[in-house]
Amino acid sequence: MIESILWDVDGTMAETERDGHLKAFNQAFESLSLPWRWSEQRYGELLAIAGGRERLLHDLEHQSRAPESPRQRRALADGVHRLKNELYARIVADGELPLREGVRELLNDCESARVRLGIVTTTSRSNVEVLLKTHLGEDWESKFAVTVCSREAPRKKPHPQAYLVALDALQLRPHQAVALEDSQAGVAAAQAAGVPVIVTRSHYFMAAESRGALAVGPSLGRIDGWHPAADARTTRIDLRQIVRWHAAARHLGGQSRLQ
């Protein structure tokens, strides 16, 4: 029996990277009169580095017109990142960043079945809060039995810290939960904690490594393109389908981490 569904946020619940964070970073660069912008391709490359501030610091090392000293680069990254988060909040609040298809419906499935929900991300709480408050209401946090963000788990994915913190708070063994992720780092984090994972591919992670996942597919909102195949009698990936995949993995013994 699945006791909890643990949600990643960026890319999994919404296409936040392409449609939110990238846009906000470029707005911040412009507002601060900085002489560079990130293309969609360049931002995709930078996503190999976990954390927005960390991506900034990495990129500044390769910008010819960036400050020379590490101290100045850190100060600039801090300022840009603060402003970027403010601009991101405006983008979300203005309704420019919808939830991905099937997300709200699966949340409702879990609530109806009394399967506990969790947020497991290493992004900032402010980014999570503005997205979920916009789409789920002021009482969004009451819908989740645990919310793990960068403050609770400072070690970024693929480190399993965020999942270990969530499991401890929920008092669950790893196999009693299922993680929903989109990126290779997220999949690795869940698996390192022993949590079975379902991969719903996002714009920047269409080809992310997903070996050992319960299932991999393009969207929770439809059944085509999933491996293993989803039940043809359904129209989306619902809680019953997740239970089927979880049970099949345990029965076949193909998930050594389900212990």
Q: Which of 10, 59, 109, 238 is catalytic?
A: 10
Collapsing DSSP states into helix, strand and coil, what is residue 205? helix
Which entry of 8, 59, 109, 182 is annotated as an active-site residue? Answer: 8
Helices (H), 139-234: 161-170, 184-192
User: What is each CA distance from 111 to 104, 137, 220, 230, in whole angstroms?
Assistant: 11, 15, 17, 22
Positions of E strands within 140-253: 146-148, 177-181, 197-200, 215-217
What is the Cα–Cα distance from 216 to 170, expressed in whole angstroms? 26
Determine the longest span between alpha carbons in the chain, in angstroms. Answer: 60
Q: CA-CA distance, 255 to 27, in Å (whole number)?
A: 44
Active site residue 94: no
What is the phi-psi region of residue 50: left when phi exceeds 0, alpha when psi lies from -120 to 50, beta otherwise?
Answer: beta
As a whole number of angstroms, the distance between CA 220 and CA 108 comes to: 13
Whether 238 is a known active-site residue: answer: no
Where in the sequence numbering do the catalytic residues fall?
8, 10
